[in-house]
Amino acid sequence: MTIITLVLVIVLSAIGVSCGPSGPPQYVTYTDDANGFSIDYPEGWHVEHPKEPAELKVAIWSKKWGTGMAGIMVAKESVPGLSLEAYSKLRIQYLSDAEDYVPISTEELTITGMQAIKHTYTCTVGQTSYARVQVYLMQNETGWFLGFDCPQKSFDSYQSIRDTVLNSFRLL
């Protein structure tokens, strides 16, 4: 090994160059008493309260500005007379109207004791291909959907965070 290579290795090690997270994230809980839910998210992510669409109650982003961010969304809407299956089909139909929508999977699961349906798909925003997960839940004619999206190339690296966040959702 040449002296220059050795010095470069030492310098890069000293400044902590890394290709991924340095360890598992710490989580904090976002609680929305007015809408009756809470959800955990990685410490250091940025919470926003969008005004539109009205159904969207919170958006939490991996960084404050820029492209290629990961995001968590929680939406709530009144859907009288719909079952969980009908609600999920309605939401998936809405997604499938997009030109670049590509479904990956749909499966049933349970989140904090509630039956849910998880739908995974890809789409393109600008020049970036995104992988997205939406989880649909129902309670008393209220439909909830939890979303997690990130650039498709980093989808697998977010699996642990995605699973922790989605499984932390609780109705108050």
Task: Annotate 75-131 with three-state secondary structure.
Answer: EEEECCCCCHHHHHHHHHHHHHCCCCCEEEEEEEEEECCEEEEEEEEEEEECCEEEE
Strand order in the sheet with 46-48: 46-48, 56-61, 71-78, 142-151, 128-139, 114-125, 102-111
Average pLDDT of the chain is: 86
Structural domains in the chain, CATH included, are 25-171 (3.40.1000.10)
pLDDT of residue 46: 95
Query: Could you read off the pLDDT of 110-168 as tens digits, one per residue?
Result: 999 999 999 999 998 888 899 999 999 999 999 999 999 999 999 999 999 999 999 99
Q: How much is the pTM? A: 0.82
Beta-carbon count within 10 A of 28 CB? 13
